[in-house]
Amino acid sequence: MRYILVNKPYEVLTQFTDEHGRATLKDFVPVTGIYPVGRLDFDSEGLLLLTDDKALQHRLSDPKFKVPKTYWAQVEGTVTEEALEKLRRGVQIKDGRTTPARAVAMPEPAELWERSTPIRFRASIPTSWLAITISQGMNRQVRKMCAAVGLPCLRLIRASIDELTLDELAPGQWRELTPAESGKLKAKFSATKNPANRKVAVKGAPGAPPVSAAPRRGKAE
């Protein structure tokens, strides 16, 4: 079995083929027979897990297992405690009401890479950062949550999936999970466990490691 973490760059599809010639994971990860666990939008960046372990792929993608995922969002405007409290309680979006999330204000992530296409800046409106941890999977959920509290999302980076983090992976770089990491992940989300009884420890960005441009393991192709 293969278990690979990749830092998906901006404007790359979360798939290995595209009939329209857009960039895909195949441009960065020269490994066949693996598939992404869940999705990450074309205009979002950050952590993806790729595997050929179909059982684990199902468990991590199924909302009933409540796998926490943390996102760093750069938003237009100033993050207020009122906005954070709304996100923590859950907000109404087009797809329905979101479940309570962890939401905290944060500084810009340390040593953050530049995006290939810069975000738009308006001189009269500041930007700020927040970390949101969710365990749902609604379409473009974090962006819609931010918009619902008056904070349009300018940039979105997935920082972690459960205990797996970006660590030192630069955009387009990847690494294999260690046997200890993959074993722990499989044990935690074993199909023999009842997900309804599993308590999820939700982590926000302040506890995540800083992002560096230097790779730790693996390589970009």
Catalytic sites, residue numbers? 41
What size, in residues, is the chain?
A: 221
User: Count of CB atoms within 10 A of residue 39's CB?
Assistant: 15
